[in-house]
């Protein structure tokens, strides 16, 4: 007796929910099989799958079952050829595969036969079905675009953090809009806060997902993944600007921005917060920053450098990991021909750097002396600040113009919207624009105030807080605060040079450390010389070097550094045999950093 498998399908989940079409298809196919004396051995039901898509799971299961060696059925029975497929090419390919397995396709409403004439009619029917499907999709898509232009949500599942509600009713159609889901929105804000490091070191997407999963916080019944967290952090929807029609739903290919439809939605976070998160994600991207610098617990990772060749000092272990050292990366990679090398116990260098920074910078009296220009020369700086304000406003306009130029290139089709370099430039320009806007606001407010923003009380509070965090904080927080204070620690066999930014300290004293997010260092480097109260290069007779610094994304290039007059303009130099510090001779085995 001939055996048959019935395949039924509807295109949308809504059709399947009505539970009318699929049962009717099954009933008609069973009736036909009974009349023809065919035994039904299996039914393949596929709700909500487009016939233009060949990757339908139930359809593929049917093809795989038909090709089995035990040949479970002889016929595949469908209500009409369009239920099998609406793609003429795919239809013929799969019909050929079925025939190779000895299985024939039968349509109970379109019996065209298997002779050459019937084959021709079947192919014509497939072509008409494909054309009809694409025409229907075109008109539906046009209607969805217009619905989005009118500010309505198009019925798909809302993004995490939002729900939908009916705004109005037009005929039999419900017009829906996005509304904030308070419970989910709290999680979204929490994710952005963790990414920005509001309460500590900025966290990456994996660390955020782990933190949420450990506390049982789910994403609509499922655990958070790195992809899900990254999708939240990069979605412009959360600052109030959603875009419809960004990708082709059939193949997930991005559409040009000229075809995007902007849709205003309730904002969960501020745009400034979103842009800051994008900049941090860019700075942590593996293409720009080695993952070992982002994830390592090493205190001076990315900051410590070899004073002989300028290469980074990286962790090296001995005795199976029992001892840890800072070693020149070039020496480890290239051997003694690349650099004569440097190897220093990690705890020793960490202790020296933190101890000297604490003693020479983070003592309230020393910090006050370091920032005395910010405390006692407000009038003298006012003219310079006004010049700076004018320059920052020009830079702000230039950043806005750069953003406009990039968007114009994209709109004209001269640049691909999904181009990685273009997106990176756009993120950097937006972050630069927001950073300048914040600096302009801060400087304008300071110029308008009658009393200085930095006070002795704030300096003392900052010094005590940083001392406590550097000495007693968790490893990741110690590293974040060390990176906040230090731009570079350059080590050779004669001296340790420590450099950082006074502007960061000044901003921290004025606004508080909680508002000064420890940023992640990038690989962007520049050669520069500094000119301030300690002349550089030093006068004749002094040892001079060209120094290279690691630039932080949040520190302006024009900012002077810690090396500017820490203790009355004097500095300590660790030389062979003795250390000279303002006339006091220290034992030869002492290692005192030269604070730069």
| Structure confidence by residue, pLDDT tens digits, 252-272 | 788 888 888 888 899 999 988
User: Which has the closest alpha carbon to 103: 70, 58, 128?
Assistant: 70
Helical H runs in 78-152? 81-84, 88-100, 116-149
Q: What is the pLDDT of residues 139-155, one digit of tens each?
A: 888 888 888 888 898 87
Start-to-end C-alpha separation, the chain = 93
Calculate mean pLDDT across residues 481-490: 79
Q: CA gyration radius for the chain?
A: 34
Return the pLDDT at 287.
54
Distance CA 197, CA 207 (A): 12
Rounded-to-integer distance, Cα 410 and Cα 259, Å:
11
- Predicted pLDDT of residue 512: 60
Q: What is the per-residue pLDDT for 336? A: 78
Contact predicate 395/434, CB 8 Å: no
Phi-psi region of 460 (alpha: psi -120 to 50; beta: other; left: phi over 0): alpha
Q: Is there a contact between 18 and 58 (Cβ–Cβ < 8 Å)?
A: no
- pLDDT score for 554: 36
Residues in contact with 431: Cβ distance below 8 Å, sequence separation at least 6, in sequence order: 275, 276, 278, 279, 553
For strands 486-491 and 173-180, give the pairing.
unpaired
CA angle 497, 321, 334 (to 5 degrees): 60
Domain boundaries of the chain, sorted by first residue: 3-140, 162-290, 304-367+458-595, 373-453
pLDDT(289) > 70: no
11 is catalytic: yes
Mean per-residue pLDDT, 320-331: 79
**Gap between the Cα atoms of 547 and 525, Å rounded:** 11
Neighbours of 8 (CB within 10 A): 23
CA dihedral 16, 17, 20, 25 (to 10 degrees): 20
pTM: 0.49
**pLDDT at residue number 518:** 46
Q: 353, exposed or middle or buried, with CB in 10 Å at 0-12, 13-18, 19+?
A: buried
pLDDT at 185 (0 to 100): 93
Q: Tell me the angle at which helices 226-233 and 271-284 cross, rounded to the nearest 10 degrees.
A: 130
When the pLDDT of each residue in the chain is averaged and rounded to a whole number, the result is 75
Which helix or strand (DSSP H or E) is residue 429 part of?
helix 420-448
Quick one: average pLDDT of 233-242?
90
Of residues 422 and 75, more confidence is placed in 75
Of the pLDDT bands very low, low, confident and very high (cuts 50, 70, 90), residue 181 is very high
Q: How many Cβ atoms from other residues are within 10 Å of residue 482's Cβ? A: 25
Assigned token pair, 204: 């990456």
3-state secondary structure of 75: strand
In this prediction, residue 20 has a pLDDT band, given cuts at 50, 70 and 90, of low
pLDDT class for 40, splitting at 50, 70, 90? very high
Q: Is the peptide bond before 537 cis (omega within 30 degrees of 0)?
A: yes
Q: Which residues touch 312 (CB under 8 Å, ≥6 apart)?
A: 302, 304, 305, 306, 329
CATH superfamily of 3-140: Resolvase, N-terminal catalytic domain (3.40.50.1390)
Q: pLDDT-derived band of residue 13, with 50, 70 and 90 as boundaries?
A: low
User: Would the CA dihedral through 571, 575, 580, 585 be positive or negative?
Assistant: positive
Residues 6+ apart with CB under 8 A from 181: 161, 162, 163
The residue assigned the tokens 């782990």 is 210
Interacting residues of 443 by C-beta distance below 8 A, sequence separation 6+:
385, 388, 389, 392
Instruction: Work out the average pLDDT over 315-327.
Output: 76
The proportion of the chain whose per-residue pLDDT surpasses 70, expressed as a percent, equals 76
pLDDT tens across 197-228, in order?
887 777 888 889 999 999 999 998 889 998 89
Confidence of residue 551 (pLDDT cuts 50, 70, 90): very low
| Residues of the chain above pLDDT 90, percent | 14
pLDDT confidence band for 579 (50 / 70 / 90): very low
Is the CB of residue 559 less than 8 Å from the CB of residue 481? no
Supply the pLDDT for residue 381: 64
* Active-site residue, from 11, 50, 499, 501: 11
Report the range of poorest mean pLDDT among 402-416, 505-519, 547-561.
Answer: 547-561
What is the average pLDDT across 99-104? Answer: 90
Q: Look up residue 339 and give its two tokens.
A: 């650099």
Task: Write the DSSP symbol of residue 87.
Answer: -
Max mean pLDDT among 29-33, 143-147, 167-171 falls in: 29-33
546 and 527 Cβ atoms separated by less than 8 Å: yes
Average pLDDT for 418-428 = 77
Contact 478, 470 (CB under 8 A): yes
Query: Taking residues 295-311, what's their average pLDDT?
Result: 77
Q: Is residue 236 predicted with pLDDT exceeding 70?
A: yes
Look at residue 553 in the predicted model and tell me its pLDDT.
36
Residue matched to tokens 């090396």? 563
pLDDT of 479 reads: 72
Is 585's pLDDT higher than 50?
no
Q: Is the pLDDT of residue 279 over 50?
A: yes
Query: Does the structure show a pLDDT above 50 at 42?
Result: yes
- Name the β-bridge partners of 328: 313
- Binned at pLDDT 50, 70 and 90, residue 43 comes out as very high
The architecture in CATH of the region 162-290 reads Alpha-Beta Complex (3.90)
Interatomic CA distance for residues 472 and 363, integer angstroms:
16
């Amino acid at each position: 007796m001939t055996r048959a498998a019935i395949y039924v399908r509807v295109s949308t989940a809504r059709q399947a929910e009505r539970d009318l079409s699929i049962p009717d298809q099954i009933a008609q196919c069973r009736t036909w099989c009974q009349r023809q004396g065919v035994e039904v051995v299996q039914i393949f039901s596929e709700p909500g799958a487009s016939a233009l898509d060949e990757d339908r799971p139930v359809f593929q299961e049917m093809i795989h079952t038909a090709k089995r060696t035990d040949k479970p059925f002889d016929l595949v029975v469908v209500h009409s050829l369009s239920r099998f497929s609406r793609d003429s090419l795919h239809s013929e390919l799969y019909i050929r595969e079925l025939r190779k397995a000895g299985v024939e396709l039968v349509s109970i409403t379109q019996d065209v036969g298997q002779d050459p004439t019937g084959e021709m009619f079947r192919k014509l029917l497939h072509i008409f079905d494909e054309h009809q499907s694409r025409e229907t999709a075109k008109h539906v898509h046009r209607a969805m675009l217009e619905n989005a232009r009118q500010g309505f949500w198009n019925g798909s599942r809302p993004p995490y953090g939002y729900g939908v509600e009916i705004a109005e009713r037009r005929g039999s159609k419900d017009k829906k809009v996005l509304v904030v889901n308070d419970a989910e929105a709290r999680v979204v804000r929490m994710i952005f806060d963790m990414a920005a490091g509001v309460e500590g070191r900025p966290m990456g997407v994996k660390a955020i997902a782990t933190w949420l999963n450990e506390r049982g916080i789910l994403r609509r019944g499922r655990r958070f993944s790195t992809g899900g967290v990254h999708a939240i952090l990069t979605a412009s929807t959360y600052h109030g600007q959603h875009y419809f029609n960004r990708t082709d739903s059939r193949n997930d290919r991005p559409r040009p921005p000229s075809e995007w439809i902007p849709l205003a939605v309730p904002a969960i976070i501020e745009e400034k917060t979103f842009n800051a998160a994008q900049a941090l994600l860019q700075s942590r991207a593996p293409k720009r920053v080695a993952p070992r610098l982002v994830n390592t617990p090493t205190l001076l990772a990315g900051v410590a450098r070899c004073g002989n060749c300028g290469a980074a000092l990286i962790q090296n272990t001995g005795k199976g990991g029992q001892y840890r050292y800072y070693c020149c990366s070039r020496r480890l990679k290239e051997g003694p021909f690349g650099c004569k090398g440097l190897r220093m116990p990690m705890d020793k260098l960490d202790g020296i750097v933190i101890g000297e920074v604490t003693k020479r910078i983070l003592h309230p009296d020393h910090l006050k002396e370091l920032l005395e220009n910010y405390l006692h020369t407000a009038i003298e700086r006012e003219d310079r600040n006004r010049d700076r304000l004018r320059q920052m406003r020009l830079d702000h306009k230039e950043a806005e113009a750069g953003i406009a130029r990039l968007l114009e290139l994209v709109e004209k089709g001269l640049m691909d919207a999904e181009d990685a370099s273009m997106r990176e430039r756009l993120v950097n320009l937006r972050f630069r624009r927001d950073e300048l806007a914040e600096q302009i606001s801060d400087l304008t407010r300071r110029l308008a105030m009658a009393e200085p923003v930095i006070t002795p009380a704030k300096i003392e509070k900052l010094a005590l807080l940083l001392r406590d965090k550097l000495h007693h904080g968790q490893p990741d927080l110690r590293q974040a605060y060390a990176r906040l204070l230090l731009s570079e620690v350059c080590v050779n066999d004669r001296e340790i040079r420590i450099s950082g930014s006074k502007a960061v300290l000044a901003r921290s004293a004025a606004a508080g450390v909680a508002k000064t997010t420890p940023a992640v260092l990038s690989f962007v480097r520049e050669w520069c010389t500094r000119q301030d109260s300690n002349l550089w290069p030093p006068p004749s007779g002094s040892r001079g070097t060209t120094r290279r610094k690691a630039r932080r994304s949040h520190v302006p290039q024009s900012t002077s550094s810690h090396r500017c007059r820490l203790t009355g303009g004097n500095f300590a130099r660790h030389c062979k045999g003795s250390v000279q510090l303002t006339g006091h001779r220290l034992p030869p085995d002492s290692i005192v950093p030269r604070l730069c």
